[in-house]
């Protein structure tokens, strides 16, 4: 009897252990299932977050490239920030708009001109400050589309309410020269310049979206040239644009310009977003001339009379005024492709005799007298004050 009791006791204990083991197994299985489900939920949450981030960046990327208009499936006017699977699938199937690359030639004024209509001054580049090493801020006036058209930055037919967004791919800035034979021989003189155009981080796309700003990392476009270069590869040699515009290209190579860096930026090789033409630029320049050289930057004023900049100065004459020549390659949406008239007008101006010292090239075929108190400069490209 005693042995049977002991056996029964062991059987009961064994049964309890089996039950506990089974119970523990169920708990382990349940926990494993829970962990698996939690991992799946976390993975799904992580994937969804990445999907939402990708959709958000997709919409902002193409909103900027399309001139401030996001693709339709982005629901730009909606307050919600969540994109459905259907919207994401539409994004995958969406075809971006086509873009055109266009060459333009724009002009930058070098003296202040006041607009009575807008009660503000137009932007200009102070050449004396540029020569002294200062950085010059400059922005095209979106508040006056006529000014932008007349200076060659957009097509003459571009309407203010349909102003195309324009993105800079390269920007080559040429500088006007003055020749002082008393300092050296012009035939053996050269002047090397490096002009940098740095965009600020704030970007404006057009007059229609002037109140909406975008932020991009600053980008720098560099122009590195030598005026009057003796040694230059043929593929880098061009005629001075100011001499071409004045129809006064010299036959002794004095009009030669050696172009080493044509206004490019690292952005071209990195496939990043291009800055807007209507952003604020920061111009700076460095100079290196031959010893006892006769070439230097043309500075038509010893200083700017800043007392005029009080909002009451009269509108100034612009005929014969000195402008900087800027050749740019820009990118536009193909539906709004706009050719610049400025490039054709300047490049075709060649093959004629030079204007007289007191004249400037007014048209392709005519020279006009400079106004009283001014004299021709940059081989007749413009007129500047006699006491320059």
**Do 89 and 108 fall within a single domain?**
no
Domains held by the chain: number: 2
User: How many alpha carbons lie under 13 Å from residue 292 in its C-beta half-sphere?
Assistant: 5
Mean pLDDT to the nearest integer, 109-113: 90
**Do 247 and 343 fall within a single domain?**
yes
**Do 261 and 280 fall within a single domain?**
yes
Question: What phi-psi label fits residue 54: left (phi over 0), alpha (psi between -120 and 50 degrees) or beta?
Answer: alpha
Yes or no: say if 140 and 278 are a contact pair by the CB < 8 Å rule.
yes
Quote the percentage of the chain above a pLDDT of 70. Answer: 73
**Do 64 and 120 fall within a single domain?**
no
Mean pLDDT to the nearest integer, 139-157: 89
Mean pLDDT to the nearest integer, 111-123: 90
Question: pLDDT grade, residue 24 (50/70/90)?
Answer: low
CA–CA distance, 361 with 167 (Å, rounded to integer): 31
Classify residue 383: in a domain, yes or no: no
**65, 93, 121 — which closes off a domain?**
93
In this prediction, residue 356 carries a pLDDT of 92
Is residue 325 pLDDT above 90, yes or no?
Answer: yes
Question: pLDDT grade, residue 301 (50/70/90)?
Answer: low
Classify residue 213: in a domain, yes or no: yes
Question: pLDDT grade, residue 97 (50/70/90)?
Answer: confident
Say whether pTM exceeds 0.85.
no
**Do 55 and 147 fall within a single domain?**
no
In this prediction, residue 29 carries a pLDDT of 58
CA–CA distance, 264 with 164 (Å, rounded to integer): 22
**Do 163 and 275 fall within a single domain?**
yes
In this prediction, residue 309 carries a pLDDT of 46
Q: Is 298 helix (H, G, I), strand (E, B) or coil?
A: coil
Question: pLDDT grade, residue 342 (50/70/90)?
Answer: very low
More confident residue, 174 or 84: 174
Yes or no: say if 157 and 275 are a contact pair by the CB < 8 Å rule.
no
Classify residue 377: in a domain, yes or no: no
In this prediction, residue 27 carries a pLDDT of 54
CA–CA distance, 184 with 378 (Å, rounded to integer): 18
**76, 93, 110 — which closes off a domain?**
93
214-215 and 191-199 beta bridge pairing: unpaired
**Do 248 and 318 fall within a single domain?**
yes
In this prediction, residue 13 carries a pLDDT of 53
Classify residue 136: in a domain, yes or no: yes
Which residue is listed with tokens 């993105």?
A: 167
More confident residue, 256 or 160: 256
Could you tell me which residues come within 8 angstroms of residue 380 by beta carbon, excluding any fewer than 6 positions away?
246, 247, 248, 354, 355, 356, 359, 360, 361, 367
Classify residue 362: in a domain, yes or no: no
Least confident window among 176-185, 263-272, 299-308: 299-308
Which residue is listed with tokens 């090239």?
A: 361
More confident residue, 129 or 301: 129
CA–CA distance, 271 with 220 (Å, rounded to integer): 15
pLDDT averaged over every residue in the chain: 78
Is residue 343 pLDDT above 70, yes or no?
Answer: no
**68, 93, 118 — which closes off a domain?**
93
More confident residue, 47 or 117: 117
**Do 160 and 278 fall within a single domain?**
yes
**Do 34 and 175 fall within a single domain?**
no
CA–CA distance, 115 with 316 (Å, rounded to integer): 9
In this prediction, residue 312 carries a pLDDT of 43
Beta strands in the chain (DSSP E): 99-109, 114-115, 120-121, 136-138, 167-174, 177-179, 191-199, 202-203, 214-215, 220-227, 237-239, 256-264, 281-289, 295-297, 323-333, 359-361, 367-369, 374-377, 382-385
Question: pLDDT grade, residue 223 (50/70/90)?
Answer: very high
Classify residue 381: in a domain, yes or no: no
**Do 211 and 89 fall within a single domain?**
no
**Do 332 and 263 fall within a single domain?**
yes
Yes or no: say if 276 and 65 are a contact pair by the CB < 8 Å rule.
no
Classify residue 180: in a domain, yes or no: yes
For residue 156, what are the domain limits? 99-353
CA–CA distance, 289 with 229 (Å, rounded to integer): 11
**Do 54 and 138 fall within a single domain?**
no
Classify residue 108: in a domain, yes or no: yes
């Amino acid at each position: 009897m005693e042995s049977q009791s002991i056996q029964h006791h062991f059987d009961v204990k064994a049964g309890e252990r089996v039950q506990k083991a089974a119970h523990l197994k169920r708990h382990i299985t349940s926990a494993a299932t829970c962990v698996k489900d939690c991992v799946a939920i976390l993975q799904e949450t992580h994937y969804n977050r990445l999907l939402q981030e990708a959709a958000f960046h997709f919409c902002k990327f193409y909103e900027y490239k399309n001139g401030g208009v996001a693709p339709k499936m982005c629901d730009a006017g909606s307050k919600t920030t969540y994109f459905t699977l259907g919207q994401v699938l539409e994004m995958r199937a969406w075809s971006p708009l086509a873009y055109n690359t266009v060459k333009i030639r724009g002009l930058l004024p070098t003296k202040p001109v006041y607009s009575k209509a807008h009660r503000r001054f137009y932007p200009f580049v102070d050449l004396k400050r540029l020569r002294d090493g200062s950085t010059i801020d400059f922005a095209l006036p979106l508040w006056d589309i006529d000014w932008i058209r007349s200076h060659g930055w957009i097509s003459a037919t571009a309407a203010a309410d349909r102003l195309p967004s324009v993105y800079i791919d390269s920007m080559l800035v040429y500088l006007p020269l003055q020749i002082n034979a008393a300092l050296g021989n012009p035939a053996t003189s050269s002047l090397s310049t490096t002009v940098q155009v740095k965009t600020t981080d704030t970007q404006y796309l057009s007059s229609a979206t002037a109140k909406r700003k975008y932020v991009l990392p600053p980008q720098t476009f560099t122009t590195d040239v030598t005026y009057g270069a003796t040694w230059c590869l043929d593929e880098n040699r061009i005629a001075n644009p100011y001499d071409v515009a004045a129809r006064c290209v010299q036959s002794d190579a004095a009009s030669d310009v050696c172009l080493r860096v044509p206004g490019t930026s690292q952005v071209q090789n990195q496939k990043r977003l291009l800055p807007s033409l209507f952003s604020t630029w920061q111009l700076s320049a460095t100079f290196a001339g031959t010893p006892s050289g006769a070439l230097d930057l043309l500075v038509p004023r010893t200083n700017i009379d800043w007392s005029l900049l009080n909002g009451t100065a009269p509108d100034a004459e612009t005929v014969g005024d000195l402008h900087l020549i800027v050749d740019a390659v820009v990118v536009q949406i193909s539906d709004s492709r706009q050719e610049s008239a400025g490039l054709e007008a300047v490049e075709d101006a060649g093959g004629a005799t030079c204007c007289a010292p007191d004249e400037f090239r007014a048209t392709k075929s005519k020279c006009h007298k400079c106004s009283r108190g001014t004299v021709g400069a940059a081989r007749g490209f413009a007129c500047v004050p006699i006491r320059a």
